[in-house]
Chains A and B, each alone.
Chain A
Amino acid sequence: DAGVIQSPRHEVTEMGQEVTLRCKPISGHDYLFWYRQTMMRGLELLIYFNNNVPIDDSGMPEDRFSAKMPNASFSTLKIQPSEPRDSAVYFCASSPTGGAQHFGDGTRLSIL
């Protein structure tokens, strides 16, 4: 079975540029989560969706961050404009209702 698929795996871009991270959840999973991992703050939940509807976006750090889930098989996390402090590994995870979360391999983002 295909797991959670994230793209790109690595992204290096200059400050001020728009960054779009993509996620394809496991088919049949109705929850989707976006996390950010840094050495300083560990794993932070940014936002999560249930049946494509955002449930909790309290972890989104600023208005520069936005996330969408236009359908059950695709989600994006966008940063515009990007800043060096946004450098981190971003993970997407999905789960069925009542089940455990399954994580993608992450996108390592570097903002120069």
Chain B
Amino acid sequence: AQSVTQPDIHITVSEGASLELRCNYSYGATPYLFWYVQSPGQGLQLLLKYFSGDTLVQGIKGFEAEFKRSQSSFNLRKPSVHWSDAAEYFCAVAAPDRGSTLGRLYFGRGTQLTVWP
């Protein structure tokens, strides 16, 4: 069965520091992977996605993620964090639906990011 693990429930970094949020997935075939961000009182916003090709994908707001099949990981990174990046981050994997490329998403439990000024 598909599953996503985000080992870190809460991470705190200083503004300007680098950031890496971990995500491990369990899926028997080629995964379709996503990172979403959720600010308080808001819905989930797509940061980036990996479908195929280059394993380093660029997203919005200066984020990037690297797919490593050997480690079943899809970690999110940002070289310099801004105070506005404080939010909750969700990793997700998609399961194919009746032959289409995407169907339902399986989400991790999220990582809450706090940014110190």
Contacts and interface: CB of A to CB of B under 8 A. Distances in A.
Nearest to A99: B102
Interface size of B as a range: 20 to 34
B7 interface: no
B30 to A, nearest CB: 14
Nearest to A98: B101
Contacts of A101: 34, 46, 105
Contacts of A45: 104-105
A87 B100 CA distance: 34
Interface in A15-39: 31, 33
16 contacts: A31-B102, A33-B105, A42-B110, A43-B107, A45-B105, A48-B104, A55-B97, A55-B103, A56-B104, A93-B43, A97-B100, A100-B34, A100-B49, A100-B102, A101-B34, A103-B36
Interface of A: 4, 31, 33, 42-43, 45, 48, 50, 55-56, 91, 93, 95, 97-106
Interface of B: 34, 36, 41-46, 49, 90, 97-98, 100-105, 107-110
